[in-house]
């Protein structure tokens, strides 16, 4: 049912937990199945330098969060904001069709996180220009 990569990231999730002094936090949830995910990042010089996640859900949800943070770390913001659920599913060596919502959840949490960072930066630049 699950690829060896999914099982590895479920059994040994990378980057799980809170990120102290995160530059941004994004949340996503699916009220239908109760899955939820929080992604936090630190950013320096327009690059994600660190990413962590917390998730509630099935093994595919945890694996998707783990892989999303691995994929994100080191990415330039322009590349990171383009993340798609297909990207996460592909680097996990696929997800069963009934579990694709898990990669969607992770991509949504990443996009929410990066949108928060962008809004925060715009407000900061606006305050500097006043």
**Residue 30 pLDDT grade (very low, low, confident, very high; cuts 50, 70, 90):** confident
Domain 4-121 in CATH 3.90.1010.10 = yes
pLDDT at residue 129 is higher than 70: no
Question: What single DSSP character describes residue 22?
Answer: -
pLDDT band, very low/low/confident/very high, at 126 (cuts 50, 70, 90): confident
Contact 55, 65 (CB under 8 A): yes
Given a cut of 70, is residue 130 above it in pLDDT? no
pLDDT band at 34 (very low <50, low <70, confident <90, very high): confident
Beta bridge partners of 56: 36
């Amino acid at each position: 049912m699950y690829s060896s990569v999914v099982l590895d990231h479920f059994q040994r999730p990378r980057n799980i937990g809170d990120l102290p002094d995160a530059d941004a936090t994004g949340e996503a949830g699916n009220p239908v199945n109760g899955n939820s995910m929080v992604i936090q990042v630190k950013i320096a010089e327009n690059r994600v330098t660190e990413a962590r996640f917390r998730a509630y859900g099935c093994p595919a949800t945890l694996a998707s969060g783990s892989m999303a943070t691995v994929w994100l770390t080191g990415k330039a913001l322009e590349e990171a904001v383009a993340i798609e659920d297909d990207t996460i599913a592909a680097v996990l060596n696929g997800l069963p069709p009934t579990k694709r919502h898990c990669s969607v959840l992770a991509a949504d949490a990443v996009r929410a996180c990066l949108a928060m960072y962008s809004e925060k930066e715009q407000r900061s630049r606006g305050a500097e220009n006043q």
